[in-house]
Amino acid sequence: MSQPDFSPAADRNKEPILDLLHQLLPERGSALEIASGTGQHVAWFAANLPNWSWQPSDAQLNGLPSIAARVAQLDLSNVRAPLLLDVMAAHWLPDDARFDAIYCANMLHISPWATCAALMRGSARHLAPGGVLITYGPYLESGVATSAGNLAFDQSLRAQSPAWGIRRSKDVEREAAGAGLQLSARHAMPANNLLLVWKQVSAT
């Protein structure tokens, strides 16, 4: 089996994200990761949250072998085989598939804006009662100064593709609301990133 791909950024932020997951998640459950990329996050989380079962996925077919290779190297029995999953698809998984947590890092700013609404709709379909959607990455916030680093990053993203760019948190909240999700927690993270927790709106 070939060597898995490696992302320096994923390696840098995996520990602070895991620290928060320990606080946010119950002792056991099932999780779906959207846009798993190299698989570094799902492997790290699975190794350190052994009572959770993890389902990695990615929209890029050529990325799945890297995820599988990393999981195999670490002999992780609580990680399922990676799935090809495009958030824009009308159906992600069987209708009865439910997860206690759905995790998506660093996708919204490197994909077209339409993927935000699709992520929210799909997550709402597949969250178990009481489950959470967790998103991680840079955001632009009203009333909060944007760091020079994030401004430069946003410009570089838009230079690569006009459809890319750091998203405004209020815009993301609006798309979430349209899918029946609401922001329940905001956590400032290193390197001017945020970890946001979304829950289903309670019926009144």
User: Which CATH number fits the domain that encloses residue 185?
Assistant: 3.40.50.150
Using alpha carbons, select from 45, 39, 41 the residue that is nearest to residue 64. Answer: 39
pLDDT band at 158 (very low <50, low <70, confident <90, very high): very high
Asked if residue 22 belongs to a domain, the reply is yes
Does residue 2 form part of some domain?
no
The domain of 28 spans 8-200
Query: How confident is the model over 56-89, as pLDDT tens digits?
Result: 999 999 999 999 999 999 999 999 999 999 999 9
Mean pLDDT of 91-97: 95
- Would you say residue 65 lies in a domain? yes
Identify whether 123 is part of a domain: yes
Q: Both tokens of residue 106? A: 């660093």
pLDDT at 203: 52
144 belongs to a structural domain: yes
Structure confidence at residue 187 as a pLDDT band (50, 70, 90): very high
Which DSSP letter does residue 6 get? -
Q: Under a CB-based contact definition with an 8 Å cutoff, are residues 176 and 123 in contact?
A: no
The single residue listed with the structure tokens 């994909």 is 111
Phi, psi dihedrals of residue 87, rounded to the nearest 5° = -60, -20
pLDDT score, position 10: 74
Residue 75, in any domain of the structure: yes
- Structure tokens, 44: 């790290």
Helices marked H in the chain — which ranges?
8-24, 40-48, 64-74, 114-126, 148-160, 169-178
User: Would you say residue 91 has pLDDT above 70?
Assistant: yes
Segment 108-138, tens digit of pLDDT: 999 999 999 999 999 999 999 999 999 999 9
Residue 3 in domain: no
Question: pLDDT tier at 204 (50, 70, 90 boundaries)?
Answer: very low
Does position 30 have pLDDT exceeding 80, yes or no? yes
Total of domains in the chain: 1
Q: Give the Cα separation of 4 and 30 in Å (integer).
A: 24
Residue partners of 149: CB distance under 8 A and separation at least 6: 191, 192
pLDDT for position 2: 60
Q: For residue 97, is pLDDT > 90?
A: yes
Q: Report yes or no on 1 lying in a domain.
A: no
At residue 189, does pLDDT exceed 60?
yes
In a 3-state reduction of DSSP, which class is residue 99? strand
